[in-house]
Amino acid sequence: MPRTRLLLVLLIAAAMAPLSAPAAFGSGYSLYASYVSPDGADETFGLGLRYTLDLRSSQWAIELTSSYYDGLEAPVRVSEAVVLADDLRVVPLDLGLRYTWVRPGVEPYIGFGGTFARLRSDLGETDDETGGYAMFGLQWGDGRGPGLFVEGQYRYLSEVAIKLFPSQPDSQQPRVDLSGFAVNLGVSWNL
């Protein structure tokens, strides 16, 4: 039985190796600075990391991205007369597809995917939220080695319930809308 499991693991690893190996163009890592302006909070700056895996074509890729935003000031309406300021930390994790128009010099691209956001509030407990994103951008580079990029992104997230009153259901808790636009500027290293 242990030999069978080992053989199965080796076969699965061998079958997945072509998918995980970097392709000749487009796979790589990125580091970027981000400016975000959510609908229900003040704008702030953050940082992000991205891994791009080329899908064996020169145009489609899978991207795994994580950003970090700290200090999102959000007004939380407790009642008609009381509004509290909340300091939120948001870590969106994005998984999506990107299509690049391959051209010499500057390459435009578009992308879309799903988002899972880890949220923390200074006022009360929050649940992590899900949503999606769409983006467009331009990248400079020759397809291998270092490159630069700038992109615009719209991220939709479900409204976040700030649980100030533990005895009340989520539907009666104050809510904050964190959907909004972001602009990312960064460097990439293409393998």
Q: Is residue 54 part of a domain?
A: yes
Could you give the CA distance from residue 70 to residue 131 in angstroms, rounded to a whole number?
A: 19
9-23, 53-67, 71-85, 167-181: lowest mean pLDDT where? 9-23
Over residues 24-37, mean pLDDT: 82
- The larger pLDDT score, comparing residue 24 to residue 81, is at 81
pLDDT of residue 40 exceeding 70, the answer is yes
Q: What is the pLDDT of residue 97?
A: 95
Q: Is residue 8 part of a domain?
A: no
Q: Is residue 15 part of a domain?
A: no
Q: What are phi and psi of 41, to 5 degrees?
A: -150, 165
Query: Into how many domains does the chain fold?
Result: 1
Average pLDDT, the chain: 80
What residues make up the domain containing 95?
23-190
The answer, as to whether pTM is greater than 0.85, is no
Q: How far is CA 64 from CA 3, 36, 96, in A?
A: 34, 19, 7
Q: Is residue 17 part of a domain?
A: no
Q: Is residue 6 part of a domain?
A: no
Q: Is residue 7 part of a domain?
A: no
Instruction: Tell me the CATH number at 166.
Output: 2.40.160.20
Q: Is residue 16 part of a domain?
A: no
Q: Is residue 18 part of a domain?
A: no
Q: How far is CA 73 from CA 29, 54, 84, 155, 179, in A?
A: 30, 37, 10, 18, 14
pLDDT tens-digit map of 105-128: 899 999 999 999 998 887 777 888
